[in-house]
Structure 1
């Protein structure tokens, strides 16, 4: 049984002649170029990208560009050299694009992380400060007055005692009690935060 091997007259044409045939409207010439070059261009792209779908996409883009721009292609060498160079350039562009994307993604993640951490720190500091102010306001009146004078002014214990007409010992004791009370209250608050 003899096997039928039909050969198209286009099989005998060189690459540049096929391109010229395609430029003149012969879509079969394009199909012949596709059959000749798809495999080798795919291997070239895959060898660099090591990713089947990306390599297929690149080759598809090369042939799409050939289809749409065939009339404007001026070959300084062979069509094969042109297709190889086009494939290589598209591969390099894809790699650069992915590298840039990863760089931007990494920068964005870092920025968001910094913003989140700074915001969290700001919110936490703000919450702690607000809670501390509430706890100070909740202290008994005389204790609060002594504590606030000791923390918010540059007065010494002696000056506070003189201003409030208290003994220095009473001022020390009030400040010590206020600190102990606030430390206890804030420990509970930080535990729940």
Structure 2
């Protein structure tokens, strides 16, 4: 059978039949599901994230997971509902990780703002920045690498984890530990001044 004819037959199948074909190893059935749902899932993610790249990444991750779980995937409702929920969950996870990162940064900024008392008025911003860089450099190597990637790039925790071959949880913990360490060191610095 000619591939074009076969593809047009897949076009006519309902979602659940395509899923069954996909479970049996038919890559063209996956491609058809991808074509059917990519656009609506992207719009769903984009409406919440308002960032094209983030929305594309979320949908791509949903389909990668969908592809990798082909044989074991269990869907109680429709394929559409499964993909919508998977997309929504990924969007929520992304928002939570961004919020956590922003919370850490905000916490560090508040700490630095709070330390500007009378004894710190003589210290220039340049000296504080130099001291902060010195303390960052003194962090353990892996912690420093994770922390610097998080503050100097727009990478998400997941992207940092992938780049460094770590779990997302390890990345979050390393960033949190780095900020805690820096707050402690900077508190000592301001105390001795």
Report the Cα distance in structure 2 between the residues aligned to 1:57 and 1:12, rounded to whole angstroms.
29
> Once the two structures are superposed, what CA deviation does each residue of 1:61-116 show, in whole Å capped at 9, x if it has no partner?
1000101112221111001000001101111111111111111111122234445x
C-alpha RMSD of matched pairs (Å) = 2.3
Give the match for residue 110 of structure 1: 110
Give the match for residue 58 of structure 2: 58
Report the Cα distance in structure 2 between the residues aligned to 1:99 and 1:42, rounded to whole angstroms.
21
Residue pairs, 1:1-193, within 5 angstroms: 8-114=8-114, 117=116, 121=119
Aligned length: 119
Q: Structure 1 length normalisation: TM-score?
A: 0.56
> Once the two structures are superposed, what CA deviation does each residue of 1:121-173 show, in whole Å capped at 9, x if it has no partner?
2796xxxxxxxxxxxxxxxxxxxxxxxxxxxxxxxxxxxxxxxxxxxxxxxxx
Report the Cα distance in structure 1 between the residues aligned to 2:69 and 2:113, rounded to whole angstroms.
46
Q: 1:47 to 1:123 in 2, by over 3 A?
A: closer
Report the Cα distance in structure 2 between the residues aligned to 1:109 and 1:71, rounded to whole angstroms.
48
Give the match for residue 175 of structure 2: none
When Rg is computed on C-alpha atoms for both structures, the one with the higher figure is 1
Contiguous gaps of at least 5 residues in structure 2: 123-193
Give the match for residue 155 of structure 1: none
